[in-house]
Every structure is written in structure tokens, then in C-alpha cells.
Amino acid sequence: MRLTLCLLLLALAPVMAQTTAQKRATRLGLGMNLSYLEGYWNGTKARHFSDFVKLNEVALRKQRMADMAKAGFKSVRIPVCFGAWASIDKPYQWETPGSLAAPDSLVSWALANNLMAIIDLHHVEFDGSIKGADSTSRVVWLWQQIAERYKNTDPDRVIFELRNEPHGMTAATWRAQATKLIETVRAIAPKHTMIVGFHDWNGRDALLASQPFNDPNLIYTFHFYDPFVFTHQGATWAGSGLPDLKDVPFPAGPGTKINVPASSRGTWVENAITGYANEATYEVIYRRIEAAKNWSLNQNVPIYLGEFGSYNLNAAPDSRCRHAEAIYYALGKFQIPSAWWEWDSGFTMFEKGTTQLMPCMKAALNTYATGQLVILGTEPVPGEAFQLYPNPTGDTLYLTTTAGQSPASAWITDTAGRVITRTTLTNGGISVGSLGAGTYLLTIYDKTGAALGTRRFVKQ
């Protein structure tokens, strides 16, 4: 019932009057993050990282904007650590004003390639060790300067994101700071749309627990890296146990086995691994993104998924593609604009050693536009007749069916449509151990021979 109502509202949305923010959010569409100007850690801490950008390297990003547009992306989120170029203490001033040429160039190249540009204030707090770096007065000053610098850009094409992933503060503290930032920018750039998230790292749960601000020209953002032990396996910056975690698959089923690193013992990572089979499915991702969409509908405000993706160091490419597909499918169904993290660094969609998108990532992106899980899907989506697990599998497939379904037999075909196996269904599962590695289709039938549904599965 809830899904039916949500989809009905989506069908009616085009005929309802849209706000300026809603129109601009829709145009953001399929987006990408360009990771580069947020990398303060490449600078010298004694200089509060002000030297982290080498201006002679900026021009390399011009072609990357063109490549994004050619790949079909409609918008680019440009994270910028503006705070590295400003003094820490009052009276605030730009200490390396020449560095501002870098974000100027990226915004200009984005617009030249017909990409909408999001100017995102990123890592204003650095690593948390520089006192006063993210004080409200300093962040307000930064936005006074940023808004003045870009106020004459086209407000239909340039959007301001107030702060990336606020954390280490209460919801009330962040709300008070965000309110001042909104008022500051609005006074300088009255027609520009702003993107704002909530406390706890722009988490989805923080979004669901929060109320919109008074300004009507806002888009609300959240970030989504679920399940975290999949998306951040191998990440040295993300918590104990994760750097040593590898080969975590997506999706997972009751039979999925994950090697638990010794470094994760007694941590939340160990607990997350234990419960991984309940988290790593298409269904769970779909429902969590649906909850964000329902918040958007209930509040009558637009939302934007500003970051999602998976780190490529220790995750298998096919699992990364299936995870991307699960998210893009939900985003397409619920018409949520988004930006993948990110174009050409550790979370890239590229085949390793190239600057080309993996074919399976192209297929995953296609689900956003088509709303069809036709290429990679290996887990069910809401409304389908049955579920398969574990998937991928090496030996045996098990299935559960929705109420009212009485499967009696199954056919397995290859991707060319050739029937490989016909079998009677029992409680013991379906043996696929004799099949070669690859992708297959399983169709189940009731005792009258009527087809109840088809699912893809992967034989390892």
C-alpha cells in the first residue's frame, strides 16, 4: 500500500506545480563528483594545508568535465576545501587568493560542457585538529566570500552546497549554523538554490529525523554508503578492521561467508559482518532509499543523493556493479537526482588501469533511465514472485516465494535462451554445481505449467 501510494504521487508529480528548487533538482539528474579540490591532506599542516593544490595540475580536469558530459552525466558536484586558503583567526582574509582560480576554472569548464555545477564547501573542519577552523563565524565569512564570487553565475545552472557532512556536533548546533549560512547566502545571491543536509555526516537517518528550513529555495541532501563494510572494505581512513577487509560480495544471502579480520574483533565492523546477509540485498537498499523519498514527499521538498559508491581496492568489480545497480534502480524509480563518488580516484567506475567506464557500470547507470533491472540484477525487487539465495552461488540455489505462489518446477536457461536444465522443485534447493561459471535465468512454474516469474543468478 505504501509503495503504491508513493508511485501514485510520483505519477502525479509532473502535473503539480513545482517550486524553483524542485525544478532545478530534477535537472541535476544523473550526476558525478569530481574529487580533487577537497584534498587538503596533500598540503602542509603547519600552513593549515593552504598549499594542497598545485595550480599547474588544474588544467588536467578540463578534459574530465568533457568526458563526464560525453558519458551522459548531467551535473557535477565540485567539492572544494575553500577553508585551506583563508586565515584561521579573525579578521578573516584570503591568504592564498590565487588558489581561487582553481574552483573558478572547474565551474567554468562544467558550464562549458552543459553540466550543472554544484559548488560544495568541503572539509571546512580539516581533520578536526585545527581549533576554530569550522567555527560558525568563520564558515559564515567563507560563504560571504563564496557567494559574492559566484553570485553572477546562472542560478539555473550553479547551485551552492553549504557544508559537506557536518559532524561532531548536535543536531541543534548544526541547525543553528546552517540557518545562519542560509540567511548569509540568500542576502547575497537571492535567486540561487542551496543544498543543505543534516547532522551526523549527512546521514539518511539524520534526514528522516529532521525538519526542513524556512527558505523555500533549498534542496536537501543525504549520503548513502550502505552497507558500509562493503563500500569501504580496504579503506584505511574509515575505522578499525576495514583496511584488512576484502572480497566482501554484494549481494549476500544466508550462505555468504566473509573472512573476519583479526583487527576487527570486538569492533562494530565485526558486528556488521555478522549481520551482513540482512543488509546486503537489493530489497534493503530499495526500502532505505524509498524512506528518503517518502520524507521528501511528506515535506514537499526536493532531495538529492550527494554521495554514494564503493571503494575499488578490495571489492570485486562485479559486486561493485551490482551494488551500483541496486542504488541506481531505486533512484530511477523514485526520481531522485544523485552524484556518484567519484570520477577518477579510489571510488571510480573505471576499469582498473584505464579511463573507461566498466561495461557493467554502464549497465548499472542504464537502470536509472530505464527503471529495469535487466542486466545485472541478482536479487529480487519489490513485487517480484520469488527470491534466490545465495546469489552468486557455487553449488545450490534456494528460493522463497511470495504468498499465494506454489512453485512446482523450474527451468534454467543461459543468456542466449537455451534451456540447460529442467527440474522438479523440492525443499532441498536447486543444484547448479555442474553449470559453468556465468549468468543464467531461472524460471519457476506452478503445477499447471504457468510461469510464476524469472530471476537472473550468477554461477561462480
Torsion 333-334-335-339 (CA) sign: negative
Residues 383 and 375: their CA atoms lie apart, in Å, by 18
Least Cα distance to 315 among 277, 375, 258 occurs for: 258
419 pLDDT above the threshold of 50: yes
pLDDT of 14 reads: 47
Residues 252 and 430: their CA atoms lie apart, in Å, by 18
* 3-state DSSP helix/strand/coil % of the chain, to nearest 5: 40, 20, 45
Q: How wide is the angle at C-alpha 121 spanned by C-alphas 117 and 127, nearest 5°?
A: 140
> Which long-range contacts does 167-173 make (Cβ < 8 Å, 24+ apart)?
167/199, 167/200, 167/201, 168/125, 168/128, 169/199, 170/199, 171/198, 171/199, 171/200, 171/206, 171/209, 171/210, 173/199
- 3-state class (DSSP) for residue 286: helix
Say which CATH class 2-232+275-370 falls into.
Answer: alpha beta
Judge if the upstream peptide bond of residue 91 is cis by omega within 30 degrees of 0.
yes
Residue type, 266: G
13 pLDDT above the threshold of 80: no
Greatest mean pLDDT among 6-15, 16-25, 391-400: 16-25
pLDDT of 119 reads: 99
> Is residue 165 within 8 Å of 125, Cβ to Cβ?
no
pLDDT of 376 reads: 45
Residue pLDDT, tens place only, 245-293: 999 999 887 778 899 999 999 999 999 999 998 899 888 899 999 999 9
383 pLDDT above the threshold of 50: no
User: Would you identify the CATH topology of the domain 386-459?
Assistant: Immunoglobulin-like (2.60.40)
**pLDDT-based confidence at 381, cuts 50/70/90?**
very low
Domain edges within the chain: 2-232+275-370, 386-459
